[in-house]
Amino acid sequence: MAMSTFRVLFAGAVAVVLAAGCDIRVDDGRVSLGVTRGRASDNWTREYSISQGGRFELLNENGAIDVRGGSGSHVRVKAIREVSDSSDDAARTRLQTLKMREEVAPDRVLVQAETGDSSTFGRSRGVTVRYEVEVPAGLTVSLKTMNGGVRLDNVDGRITAATTNGAVSGSAVAGAVQASTVNGSVQMEVTALGGDMRLTTVNGTIRLELAPGIDADLDATTVNGGVSVDDRLGLTDVSSNRGGFGPTTSINGRLNKGGPKVTLQTTNGGVRVSPRGGGDEPRGGDADGRGRGRRGRGAFSF
User: Which amino acid, one-letter code, is at 238?
Assistant: V
Kindly report the backbone phi and psi dihedral angles of residue 289, in degrees, each rounded to the nearest multiple of 5, phi listed first.
80, 15
Percent of the chain topping pLDDT 70: 75
Phi, psi of 88 (to 5 degrees): -60, -40
pLDDT band at 35 (very low <50, low <70, confident <90, very high): low
Range(s) of the domain holding residue 227:
167-302
Q: What percent of the chain has pLDDT over 90?
A: 70
Summarised one tens digit per residue, pLDDT across range 89-146 is 999 999 999 999 999 999 999 999 998 654 433 345 689 999 999 999 999 999 999 9
Q: Determine contact, residues 156/174, Cβ cutoff 8 Å.
A: yes
- Residue 147 falls inside a structural domain: no
Question: Which residue in 50, 71, 211 sits closest to 141, CA to CA?
Answer: 50
How far apart, in whole angstroms, are the C-alpha atoms of residue 45 and residue 74? 13
Average pLDDT, the chain: 83
Residues 123 and 245 both lie in one domain: no
Shared domain check, 194 and 125: no
Residue 21 lies in a domain: no
Residues 179-218 have pLDDT tens digits of: 999 999 999 999 999 999 999 999 999 999 999 899 999 9
Q: Do 173 and 264 belong together in one domain?
A: yes
178 and 106, same structural domain?
Answer: no
CA 244 to chain centre: 32
Name the domain boundary from 86, 116, 137.
137
Please indicate, yes or no, if residue 157 is contained in any of the structural domains: no
Q: How many domains are there within the chain? A: 2
Give tens-digit pLDDT for 212-244. Answer: 899 999 999 999 999 999 999 999 999 999 866
Q: Is the pTM of this model over 0.85?
A: no
